[in-house]
Structure 1
C-alpha cells in the first residue's frame, strides 16, 4: 500500500512538473518573441499604438484548433467524486468581459511603454509586476509569503528601480528624456494591471469556474482575447489610426510582406504566451506565473542585444543578475512547498492505511 501511494504521488509529481515546464516554455517563448517583434514593428516605421495593442489579442482564433482537436479531459473532482456544478453563465460572461477589458487596457499600456523604451529596458522594468502581484495575491488569493519569496520580491523590485535612474539608457531614436520617463511609468502601470489580471484569473478558477482542464484554459483565453480584440478594434477605428495603416505598410522598412509577417507572428507569439500564463495559474498560482514571466529578463535583453543591437551597460547587467537571483529564490521556494506537500500527502495515506488495517 505504501509503495502504491508513493508511486501515485511520484506520477502526480511528474505530471505537475511536466505541465509546469511546458507552460513555462510557452510563456517565455511567446513573451520574449512578442516583445522583440513589437520593437521591430516600431523600429521599421510602425507607429499605430492601437494596432500594436490589437495584435496582442487578435490571434485567439488559432486556439480554436487545439480546442476542437484535443479530446475533453476529465475534470478534477472533490473527495466525493462528484463534479462541481456548472458556473452561472451570467457570472462567467461578466468575468470574461471584465478580464477582457483589463487586458485591452494592459495591452495599450504595453504599446505605449514599448514605443518609448528599448525591448531590453522594457523587459527589465516589467520585473516590478512581481511586487504588485505579491500584494494582489495576498489580498485576493490568500497567498502566503516566506523569507525566500520576500527576498525575491525585494530583489526584483530593486532590479527594475535601477533602470529608472539609469542615465546611460538606450532610448529609441527620437525619444526625449521625458518620453523615456513616461515609458517607464507606462511599463510600471502595465505591470500592475497585468498582475491584477493574473490574480483575478486565479480567483475565477478557484471560486467560480472550479475546473482545472486544458479546455477551460483555452476557453478563458479565447473569450478574454475576443473581448480585448473587440475593444482594441473599436479604439483603432475610433482614434482614426486605421487611416494611417496603408501608409505604414507602404513605408515599412522591411516591405509590405515584412509588415504583414511582423504583425502575424506577433499575434501568434502573444497567444502562445497567454496559454502558458493561464496554464501556470491553475497548475501552480498567479504569483508563480508572474515570477516565471520575469525569467524572460534572462532571455529578452540578451536576444535584444543580438537581434536589435540594444546596449547592455553595467546597470543593465546588474539588474539582470538581480532579476535572475530573485526569480531563482521563488522557484526554489515553490520546489520546497511541493516537496512538503508530497510528504504530507504520503503521511496522510500511511495513516489511512494503518486505520484500515486496524
Structure 2
C-alpha cells in the first residue's frame, strides 16, 4: 500500500509539474483528471500521428518530384540537376536555418500556451493548429501568385508522369499527411513538452529511409545510415536523460517522506 501511494503521489506530482502555473482552477482540474493510461494513450497517439504523418508526407513529396514536378533529383549525386553550385549552397544554408527555426517555433508555441493563452485545453490546441495552418496557407498562396509560378501549374499537371488525377491526389494527400503530423506535433507540446515533440520529429528521420527502401526500393547508402543513427542516438539520449531525471525525482520524493 505504501509503495502504491508513493507511486500515485509521484504521478500526481509529475502531472502538476507540466501544468500552466497561472491557469484557471477549472483548466488545471481537467488536466489533472487525466489518468496514467489516458496520458500514455495521448502520448502514443500523438507520436503515431507525427511519425506516420511526416513519413507519409515526405514519401509523397518524393513521389511528386520523381514524376517530373519542379525539380529532378539525381540519385547518384544526391543533388538537384540544373541548379548552380551557389544556389545549391544557399539552399543548404536555408535548410539548416529552417531546422533551427522549426525548433524555435515549437518552443515559442509552448510559451504561447503558458504565457499568452494561459490555458492548455484541447480546443486551444486545435485552434493553434488551425490558425497557424491558415497563416501558412495564405503566405504560400501569396508567394505562389507573386512569383508567377501559378502560370506553370497547368503545364506541370499535364506533364506529370502518372496523370492529372494522380497529380491532384498526391498534393491533396501530402497536405493531409502534413496536417496529421502537425496535429501530433502540437498535441505532444500540449501533453509533454516542445522538446519531446522535437525529439519525436527527429525520430522520423530513422523511419522515413526505411519506408523509402520498402516502397521505392531505394538503396540504403551511408548518408541514410548516418542520419538514422544520429536520429536514434538523439532519441535514446533524451530517453536516458529523462530516466535519470525521473530517478532523481523519485529519490528526492522518497527522502522527503522518510521520518
Same fold, judged at TM 0.5 (above): yes
Deviations along 1:259-316, whole A, 9 cap, x unmatched? Answer: 0110110111001110111111122221221111111111111222333444432343
The equivalent position to 2:132 in structure 1, one of 224, 228, 246, is 224
Distance of aligned partners of 1:255 and 1:116 in 2 relative to their CA distance in 1, 3 Å threshold: closer
Q: How does 1:244-263 map to 2 (within 5 A)?
A: 244-263=152-171
The equivalent position to 1:274 in structure 2, one of 171, 182, 204, is 182
Name the count of aligned residue pairs: 236
Note the C-alpha offset of 1:328: 0.9
Note the C-alpha offset of 1:174: 4.5
Q: How does 1:65-104 map to 2 (within 5 A)?
A: none
Distance 1:274 1:347 in 2: 41
Note the C-alpha offset of 1:41: 1.5
Q: Does 1:200 align with 2:90?
A: no
Q: Does 1:330 align with 2:248?
A: no
SS of aligned partner of 1:171:
coil
Cα RMSD between the aligned structures? 3.0
The equivalent position to 1:318 in structure 2, one of 226, 229, 232, is 226
Distance 2:221 2:81 in 1: 18
Distance 2:120 2:169 in 1: 35
- Structure with the greater relative contact order (CA < 8 A, sep ≥ 6): 1 or 2? 1
Distance 2:172 2:190 in 1: 28
CA contact (8 A) 1:305 1:312 kept: yes
Note the C-alpha offset of 1:179: 4.8
CA contact (8 A) 1:236 1:242 kept: yes
Calculate the TM-score normalised by the size of structure 1: 0.58
Runs of 4+ in 1 over 6 A off after TM superposition: 345-348
CA contact (8 A) 1:33 1:266 kept: yes
CA contact (8 A) 1:46 1:252 kept: yes
Calculate the TM-score normalised by the size of structure 2: 0.78
The equivalent position to 2:193 in structure 1, one of 264, 276, 285, is 285
The equivalent position to 2:121 in structure 1, one of 191, 213, 217, is 213
Distance of aligned partners of 1:203 and 1:216 in 2 relative to their CA distance in 1, 3 Å threshold: same
Q: Does 1:26 align with 2:49?
A: yes
- Structure 1 unmatched ranges of 5 or more: 48-114, 122-167
Note the C-alpha offset of 1:341: 4.6
CA contact (8 A) 1:44 1:252 kept: yes
Distance 2:203 2:196 in 1: 11
Distance of aligned partners of 1:170 and 1:17 in 2 relative to their CA distance in 1, 3 Å threshold: same
Note the C-alpha offset of 1:199: 1.0
Distance 2:254 2:137 in 1: 46
Distance 1:174 1:305 in 2: 26
Match of 2:27 in 1: none
SS of aligned partner of 1:299:
helix
The equivalent position to 1:41 in structure 2, one of 39, 45, 64, is 64
Note the C-alpha offset of 1:322: 3.0
Distance of aligned partners of 1:32 and 1:274 in 2 relative to their CA distance in 1, 3 Å threshold: same
